[in-house]
Amino acid sequence: MKDIQVITGCMFAGKTTELLNRLKATNKQYLLVKPRVDTRDQLNNISTHDGVFEKGIRVNKLSEIFTQIKDIKVVGIDEAQFFSKSIIVDIEYLASKQITIIVAGLDKDYLNRSFGYMKEISSIASSTTVLTARCNHCGRPASYSHRKNHLNNTQVLIGNSSEYEALCSTCYFK
Ligand SMILES: [Zn+2]
């Protein structure tokens, strides 16, 4: 049976932390993968906003790990919104090898547009967990990523609390 788990939500919702917790809880040999675009971390370390970090490998395409999965039972994918469309077939391929896939990624960018292929990944998932953050203005559950400055309009959301904040819908649309 295919096991494809999706963890999604806005920034600061704890997606990476949840991903790392689930990977550890499997007690199986796992591989953690991240897109090469995210340069926030030291090479090959994957960190969370809480400062926890874990070794992982960076790839342009998920298929780059296909030669390294011989003893791997679980593959974790962080920041999955940055991968191109091939991630769908690549996930399907890994799942067909009885590998559990746990995918974490942003559902929407700071302009509230759907991000990358997260929606399509969710549609092939066996479970989807939507996490919320705390609104930076009022403390209510937040599901919107807001960019504090609008100097450029790139969809790439790499950053930290100095550039982005999580907002609830009321505060986001204000
Ligand atoms: Zn709010």
- Kindly list the catalytic residues: 79
pTM to 2 decimal places: 0.88
pLDDT value at position 13?
96
d(Cα 163, Cα 118) in Å, to the nearest integer?
23
pLDDT value at position 149?
73
Question: What DSSP character marks residue 8?
Answer: E
Ligand 1 centroid, distance to 170 Cα (angstroms): 6
Ligand 1 centroid, distance to 94 Cα (angstroms): 40
- Per-position pLDDT tens, the chain of length 174: 899 999 999 999 999 999 999 999 999 999 999 998 756 555 566 655 555 566 688 899 999 999 989 999 999 999 999 999 999 999 999 999 999 999 999 999 999 999 999 999 999 999 999 999 999 999 999 999 998 876 655 555 555 667 889 999 999 999
pLDDT value at position 163?
84
Ligand 1 centroid, distance to 134 Cα (angstroms): 8
Closest residue by Cα to residue 39 from 58, 56, 20:
58
What is the distance in angstroms between the CA of the first residue and the CA of the last residue of the chain? 45
pLDDT value at position 137?
96
Domains, the chain, ordered by start? 4-131 (3.40.50.300)
